[in-house]
Structure 1
C-alpha cells in the first residue's frame, strides 16, 4: 500500500518461547492488514497509512538487519550510533523514537528500563520474519501507550502444510558471518516452527574519529506452536530471544569521543501464551505476554562488574474480542492490564496500567468502510486518559481508494522518567497528540502501476524532556509535524519490479526557547528507489538508491548532519530447484556520512552467500 572464505552457520535448535497475538494469524497475503485495529481487515477497508514489507521483499533485498529496510519506508527516519549492533532508533513522521510502539507478533517490546522507553532496533534482525506492517500515525486506541508516531508490527513466519526448512549462510566485509536456518511442520491439528540465526562482525569504529574496529556478535531465535484442541479452540505459543555483545567507544578525560575498549551486552526475551476460541460469530483471545530486557555496559574489556546496569520487564494480561454483529457492522474490543518493572542495580520501581477499548467497523455501502474507536487507560501513577480515533476508506470502481483518518495518541511517562534518583518527577503528565491525514491510492494499467500519496499533520503537547533548569524530567516540550508521503510501485511483467518512495517531513519544535527549530535527526526530505529484474532463468539483478536529506543533531540546530546517498547493488542465481547463490554490495560508492554526530557509519561492503529451501 503506502510508501529498504564463505562460512556457513546453519543453526539453532533453541526451544520456542511464547509470543504473540490471535490477530497476527493473518495470512501472508499483503491485502490483509492486522495492525490498524488489532484484527484482520482487507487493505482496501483501512483508512490509515500502512506499509507492508513482505518476506519476498526481505529475500529480494538480501536484508539482514531490519532497520536497513525501514530506512526505505515512507515517513521513517533511522539513526544508528555506529556499526551493526549499536543503538538504533526509528522515528515515524518526525515523532520521538520512544513514541514508536514496536510489536513482535503482537507483544509490546519497548524497553521499560530505557529513559524514554524506546525500542532499540540494533538487535532486530530479519531471521524468520514473514512480514512487517508499518502504521504511521497515532494508534493508541487498539495498542495503547507509546503509539503517538505509529506502530512497527513484526510478524514471524508461520509453518505451511507438511515439513519445511530454510537455511542461509553469508560472509563478507569486516569479516562478517551470517547464519540463519528454520524448520517447520504443519499437520492437521498441530503447527510448529522455529527460526534461528547467528551474526558476527569485526565492525567499524563507533567513533567517527577512531580507527579501532568495534565488533558485534548476536545469537537469536524465534518460534511458535499452535495446537487445535477442537475446530474452534486452539492453544497459541510464540516467542523470540536474542543475546548480543557490542564493542563500544567512549569519552576521553577531555570529553572527546574516541576509541576505547568498552563493551555492552544485551539479552532480550519476548513471549506470549494464549488460547483462542470461536463462539458463533464471536472470536475470542485470552493471553499473557512478557517482555524481559537485560542491558549492561562495561568500562573495559577486562571489567567484571558493569558500569551501567538495567533490567526492564513488563507482563501483560489481555482479552480481545472480534464480533460480526451483522454483515455491515463489526465490533473489535478488549481489556488489558500491564505491569512494568525497572531495576537499576540499586532500586526497584514498578507501575501498572489497566485499559479497555472498543472499535466499530461499519460498511454503510459496499465500497465505504468507516472505523471508529475509543480507549481509556488508567495508570497507577498519573491517572486516566481517554483517546479517540476514526478513519474511512472509500474504494471506488475506478481502482481508486480514498483514505482519511483522525487519531489521538498518548504516551505514559516511563519508570525512569518518573522515578530516576535525582532526575525523576512523579508529577509528570502523559504526552498526548492529535493527528490528521488524508490520502489517495490509484491503480493503473490493470494493476501494473500503483501510485499513492498521503498528507499528514500531528501536534504533540506535554512532551517529556530533560529540563536543564530544574535538572529533572518535565512536561516542557510541544512539537508539530506535517508532510507528504508518496509511494510508487510498477510491475510491468513478472520479471521486473520497481518501487519508489518520497517523504517530506517538516517537524518543528514549539517549545519555549526552541520555537521554530527543526527536531533533531529528522531529515526533511528522503527518497528511495529500488529496481529488480528476476527472470525465470538466469541471474536476478537489483539496485536500491536511498537519499536522506540534511538534518540537525541537536535541538538548538547548531550541529548539522549532512545529507547522504547510499547505493546498493545485488545479484542472485538459482543453482538448482532448492539452492541459490547471491551477493550484494552495500554503499557501493563508499559514501562517508553520519546519522548521529561523531559516530561512524559503514563504508563500502561486499557480501556473498548461499540460500537453501526445502518446502
Structure 2
C-alpha cells in the first residue's frame, strides 16, 4: 500500500461511489478530532454513549483494567447501542466497528464470516461470558448462531492475542457478555416488526437482593426472509429463519472474599438456504455456552479465579444429510497480584476439543502456562505476556507480546506493540478425507503503532499494523490425503496490513463519529487480494436529539472485493445509508425505528448470494423505571 499524507490517503481512494464522498470530507477534518484517549472508545455509528476513562475492559489482558491503562486497540458496544441498532444479527452490529468486515451467504441465519483487520474468520477467538466458542469442522465461531437478543455488551480487541488466549487469536478477540443483575428487580418485555415478515419477541428479568444477583432472558425471532441466491437455477423460495434463545446468569457473593457465578446461553436456529433448484434446504444450528466461576479476593493485592466451561456447536443440514458436532471443555486457574503500579498474572489453562463428523470422532487437548506483567504510572504504560501451549497432537508452541504506551502531552498518546500468535489445525483439517495429519499450526507475527488525541468531547486515533502469517492452511491439489479431489496443505503465506482512522466530534447538538480502514489483505505467494475483503471500508454517523427523539443517520461504504483467489470475480463497491430514531413514548415504554439501506442499493458481499435491500424495523420495549 502506498502511503501518502493522512488527508490524501483518506480522500483519494474512497471516491468510488457518490455515497462515499461524505466519508472523504469527514476524514479530512477528522485529523483534528476523535473519541477519548482510550483505544477502547466506542466507534459504532449508532446512538452511542462515550465510555468513561474509569470504565473497565476485560478482553485486552483477561483481567479487568481501566480503559485509561490499556495499550491495546479495543472497542466497546453496549446494550443501548445494540437496542438502538434494530438489527437482527450480531455480525450486522460488528460491521459498524473499525477494522471489521462481514460476508454472508444470503440473509440472517446463513453462513457468516467476520474479518477482523482482514484476517480469516477463524483467526478471531470468540468468547461468551468467558466460554470459548469454536467449530472444529469449519474453524472459527458460527457467528450466525449467536443470538443478539441475549447480548448485553461486546468488547472487540484488534490485533493478535495468542500470548493471552492461546490458539486462534491471530486477528483479534471478540468477547460477548450477557446481562448481570443489579439492585432491585428489573423486568422487561419487547416486541418488534420488520420487513420480510420479521417478528421479534423478548422478555426477561434481572435484579439483585442481598448476596444474590440474577438475570434471565428469553427471545424468539422469525422471518419469512428472501431468496438467498441470485442464480436463475436456484430455488426461488423465500429463505427465512426462526431462532429461539435464552440466557441465565446467577451470582452468589458468599462473603467479602468469595463469589460464585454461573452463566448459560443457548440458541436453536432453523434457517433456509439454496443448495438445490427445488428442495427447501435448511440449516439446523444448536449452540450452548455454559460457565461456572469462582472468584476469591484473598488480600488487597492477590486474587484468583477458577473457571470451568463447556460449549457446543451442532450443525445439521436437511434434506441433504450432513451433521457436525463440536464440543469444547475448558479449565482456567488465574492468579493476579497488584502492587502499586504493577500487575502480575499467572494462569494455568486446559482446553479439550472433540469433533463428531462421521466418520470422524476425534479428541485433542491443549495445556498452557501464561504469564503477564503490566505497569502503569505517570505517562508510561507497559504490557508484556508470555505463553506456552502443549498440544496433544503436535507438541509445544510458544507465543509472546509486548506493548508500550507513552503520553507525551496531556491530550496525546503514542503506542507500539509486537506479538506472535497461532492457530492449531482443526480436527477436520487433520482427520477428514481431505485432511493431513502432519499439518503444522498456522502462525503469525504482528507489529503496530498508534497515535491518539483527545480533548473534551473530541478525539482522534490512527493505528497502523502489519500481521504476517506463515503455514496458512488452504485447500490444494490431491496429495497425501484420501481424497482424489484435493487436500488441506500448509502451502500459503498471507499479510494483513493497513491503517485504521477513527474520530468523534460534537458540533453543537450533533454528535459526529466515524472510522476509515485502508488495508491490504494479500496472499504473499500470488500477490493477489484475499477473497471477500475490500481494501477500504468506512462508516460515518451523526445523531442528535430533536423534540424528545434521538435521530441519526449513518453511511457504510466499502470498496470492491473479489470472490475468488485468482481475483477474476469482482464484487463492486457500495455505499449504504441507514436511518434510525428512538423515543420514550410513555413512562416505561421506548420506541425504536430503523431503516437500513434507505436507497435500496443492490450490492453483493458474496457472489451469487442476495442481500436484503431496503429493510425497515419498528420495536417497542417495556421496562419499568
TM-score, with normalisation over the residues of structure 1? 0.90
CA contact (8 A) 2:125 2:172 kept: yes
Partner of 2:282: 263
Asked if 1:603 is matched to 2:613, the reply is yes
The correspondence of residues 18-37 of structure 1 with structure 2, limited to 5 A, is 31-37=55-61
Q: Deviations over 1:486-505 (max 9, x none)?
A: 11112356x53222010011
> Residue 68 and residue 102 in structure 1: after superposition, are their counterparts in 2 closer, same or farther (change >3 A)?
same
- CA drift at 1:121: 1.3
Residues 404-423 of structure 1 correspond to what in structure 2 (within 5 A)? 404-420=416-432, 422-423=433-434
Residue in 1 aligned with 2:36? none
Contact 2:188 2:203 in 1 (8 A): yes
1:214 aligns with 2:239: yes
CA shift at 1:129, angstroms? Answer: 2.2
Question: Is 2:140 the counterpart of 1:118?
Answer: yes
Aligned counterparts of 1:124 and 1:30: Cα–Cα separation in 2: 29
Aligned position for 1:166: 188
Corresponding residue of 2:487: 472
Alignment partner, residue 534 of structure 1? 545
Partner residue, 2:133: 109
Contact 2:86-2:618 within 8 A present in 1 as well: no
CA contact (8 A) 1:46 1:391 kept: no
CA distance in 2, matches of 1:246, 1:172: 17
- Is 2:312 aligned against 1:292? yes
Aligned residues of 2:448 and 2:464 also touching (Cα < 8 A): yes
Residue of structure 2 aligned with 1:457, choices 466, 474, 477: 466
Instruction: Give the secondary-structure state (helix, strand or coil) at the position aligned to 2:623.
Output: strand
1:135-167: CA deviations, max 9, x gaps? Answer: 111001111110001011112221111111222
Pairing 1:549–2:559 present: yes
Q: Which residue of structure 2 lines up, in the alignment, with residue 23 of structure 1? A: none
In the superposition, relative to structure 1, how do residues 178 and 28 fare at CA in structure 2: closer, same or farther (>3 Å)?
Answer: farther
| 1:146 lines up with 2:168 in the alignment | yes
In the alignment, which residue of structure 2 is the partner of 1:95?
A: 119
Query: Shift of residue 259 of structure 1?
Result: 5.9
1:309 aligns with: 323
Q: 1:612 to 1:34 in 2, by over 3 A?
A: same
Structure 2 CA distance for aligned equivalents of residues 291 and 320 of structure 1: 20
CA 1:259–1:557 in 2, change beyond 3 Å: closer, same or farther?
Answer: farther
Q: Secondary structure at the match of 2:449?
A: strand
- Are 2:504 and 1:489 equivalent residues in the alignment? yes
SS in 2 for 1:166: strand
Q: Secondary structure at the match of 2:274?
A: strand
Q: CA deviation at 1:29?
A: 7.8
Aligned to 1:54: 78
The partner residue of 1:322 within 336, 340, 346 is 336
Counterpart secondary structure, 1:554 = coil
Distance 1:328 1:573 in 2: 44
Contact kept in structure 2, 1:462 and 1:475, CA below 8 Å:
yes
* Alignment match, 1:524: 535
Which of 202, 221, 242 is 1:199 aligned to? 221
Judge conservation of contact 2:86–2:617 (CA < 8 Å) in 1: no
Distance 1:369 1:30 in 2: 16
| Correspondence for 2:370 | 357
Q: Distance in 2 between matches of 1:30 and 1:486?
A: 23
Q: Shift in Å at residue 188 of structure 1?
A: 2.0
What displacement does 1:518 show? 0.4
Residue 383 in structure 1 maps to residue 395 in structure 2: yes
SS at match of 1:393: strand
Change (3 A) 1:156 1:127: same
Partner of 2:517: 503
Determine the C-alpha separation between the residues in 2 that align with 1:164 and 1:498.
Answer: 32
Using the TM superposition, give the Cα deviation of residue 614 of structure 1 relative to its aligned residue in structure 2, in angstroms. Answer: 2.1
User: For residues 78 and 357 of structure 1, what CA distance do their matches in structure 2 show?
Assistant: 32
Deviation at 1:606, TM superposition (A): 1.4
Q: What do the CA deviations read for 1:396-442 (whole angstroms, capped 9, x no partner)?
A: 4422222211111100111101111x211111111110001111111
Matched, 1:371 2:371: no
Answer whether contact 1:30 1:52 (CA < 8 A) is retained: no
Separation of aligned partners in 2, 1:522 and 1:44: 32
Name the structure 1 match of 2:295: 276
C-alpha separation in 1, matches of 2:62 and 2:262: 18
Question: Distance between the aligned counterparts of 1:55 and 1:458, measured in 2?
Answer: 31
Q: Does 1:400 align with 2:412?
A: yes
| Residue 104 (structure 2) aligns with | 80
Q: What runs of 5+ residues in structure 2 fail to find an aligned partner?
A: 1-39, 45-50, 480-485
CA distance in 2, matches of 1:371, 1:164: 39
Match of 2:155 among 107, 130, 133: 133
Q: Is the 8 A contact 1:399 1:442 kept in 2?
A: yes
Q: Deviations over 1:503-524 (max 9, x none)?
A: 011011013xxx2100111110
* Inter-partner Cα distance in structure 2 for 1:498 and 1:156: 29
Distance 1:134 1:282, change over 3 A: same
Structure 1: where are the runs of 5+ without partners? 5-26, 252-257, 300-305
| Partner-residue secondary structure (3-state), 1:174 | helix
**Mapped contact 2:543–2:551 kept (Cα < 8 A):** yes
CA distance in 1, matches of 2:239, 2:539: 29
Q: Which moved more, 1:430-439 or 1:161-170?
A: 161-170
Counterpart Cα distance in 1 of 2:72 and 2:548: 40
Aligned length: 569
